[in-house]
Structure 1
């Protein structure tokens, strides 16, 4: 039995903690409060957490090289200077629609980036999932309300994603060299009628999928065949996204949120919005930096 002890990494209560990622270029962990417009940064060596205010809502950040990162924000992809924090628009993304913002995303083993968008009020079907690689954005899937669960098999041949509103995790064949789909999505795991809704996800080196259960107080572990093989209980009702961290990818960060909760619910859910650290019991997969040219 894996040691599933969960400890608090950061006690700050984020309204919508999301987008945790590990940057192997600098041995640093990042996560974001989307609605709080703040980027959090933690070098693994010091474990000292810095908070960086953002001028716009953002949802994910990944390394490009030793000097730059790429960040999905509410109107496009931005390049961020590591030293100064300065942001420069790289490519617009739904910039002509002020009602949408970026949401869940992840890096494919090829260095391509998948980015989800959604309505700011989770309007039905207002979102989509896009593919970015070497300066080009391609729309992959539309008519999505809340894109989540974006992750990839270790060999890069399968992609996973879900619409939290429908609670179905889908899988699709993907070109390992480009991160582009080569087929149509098919049902993989149906969480309808069960506790919680599928949210952010990541994959382990053995092909299992760790997916946060929003409202379910858990991270579910799915087999490569789509069966629940383990449940990791979480001391907050709205876990949002897990990510493997560290040089060995042997630890996991988990973000949570208090979004949509009443003051009474927040007071009863004492750790809602905190960021956690846990032992996943399996090694993760190291993600490459994003290819921008």
Structure 2
């Protein structure tokens, strides 16, 4: 296996309990991310190093960009729209009013302009998690059910493949995706990772060449996997609690990585935000309320 140790930058000294959902905002030139367990949304400016915190009223699992410069967020209390300028939080829909022991976890805006958000049992015991598709008018459809931890969402650059993981397994799954209707079909396993070597698959993202990048949590890895399911290389991070990678920066060639606070050999390793230069560009980010144009070939 090709293991490399890139030169990583620690972006901020502020410790995070469970940092997740990094998201590059090209218009504002900041990286957004969340701390789930100390509920907050953060923006980080890579040039000025400015870190801004926006407290949230309940655990916040994931975020996406919207067409009107707001942030769509999956909180335990449901999906909301947040305006960073006014700090107004507007409720959109609660996908799971009948599952009070769940919380929303991993989520992203898809090529269809909808917010795809998954859930999990907040006590990590039951398979009561699901994956939902939320439209701009607040309609919610359950797409997958009986999940342990819905995670790993990402789409191929041609918008035709959806990637997803369930925390009960080390498999990364792929589905055919219809970018117009949002329907998924033809479920298959892209790759099943070896926990001891690569860590457990957590959050994911995709590069412009269609490779899937998966955070290998508890082994400090970021694993690059080809569209054919081949493990191309593993990036070794200086922390073991890697939760999710994303591409960003002015040229899309900065890799950002979030992590969580974890016990390592009886020592607490604080969760942090890391970055490094990378030799490949990230795929474009989608916008809630604005279906993506078909990519040119």
TM-score, with normalisation over the residues of structure 2? 0.90
Judged with a 3 Å threshold, the aligned counterparts in structure 2 of structure 1 residues 52 and 263 are, in CA distance, closer, same or farther, namely farther
Instruction: Summarize deviations over 1:106-137 as a string: whole Å, max 9, x none.
Output: 22223222111001111231101111223221
Over 4 Å off, 4+ runs: none
The answer (yes or no) to whether the contact 1:25–1:63 under 8 Å persists in 2 is: no
Q: Whole-Å Cα distance in 1 between the matches of residues 78 and 265 of structure 2?
A: 33
Count of residues in Structure 1 that have an aligned counterpart in Structure 2: 287
The answer (yes or no) to whether the contact 2:258–2:273 under 8 Å persists in 1 is: yes
RMSD: 2.1
> Match of 1:162?
165
Instruction: Summarize deviations over 1:134-182 as a string: whole Å, max 9, x none.
Output: 322111111111111110100110001111221111000001234331x
> Match of 1:232?
235
The answer (yes or no) to whether the contact 1:75–1:93 under 8 Å persists in 2 is: no
2:222 paired with 1:219: yes
Judged with a 3 Å threshold, the aligned counterparts in structure 2 of structure 1 residues 172 and 31 are, in CA distance, closer, same or farther, namely same
> Match of 2:175?
172
Judged with a 3 Å threshold, the aligned counterparts in structure 2 of structure 1 residues 193 and 87 are, in CA distance, closer, same or farther, namely closer
The answer (yes or no) to whether the contact 2:120–2:130 under 8 Å persists in 1 is: yes
Gaps of 5+ in 2: 292-297
Bigger mean CA offset, 50-59 vs 92-101: 92-101
> Match of 1:51?
53
Q: Whole-Å Cα distance in 1 between the matches of residues 234 and 265 of structure 2?
A: 28
TM-score, with normalisation over the residues of structure 1? 0.91
> Match of 1:4?
6
Q: Whole-Å Cα distance in 2 between the matches of residues 247 and 179 of structure 1?
A: 30
The answer (yes or no) to whether the contact 1:20–1:255 under 8 Å persists in 2 is: yes
CA apart distance, 1:42: 1.9
Judged with a 3 Å threshold, the aligned counterparts in structure 2 of structure 1 residues 223 and 138 are, in CA distance, closer, same or farther, namely same
What SS class does the counterpart of residue 48 from structure 2 fall into? coil
Picking from 128, 132, 143, the partner of 1:130 is 132
Counterparts of 1:105-254 in structure 2, within 5 Å, are: 105-135=107-137, 136-181=139-184, 183-192=185-194, 194-195=196-197, 196-254=199-257
Gaps of 5+ in 1: none
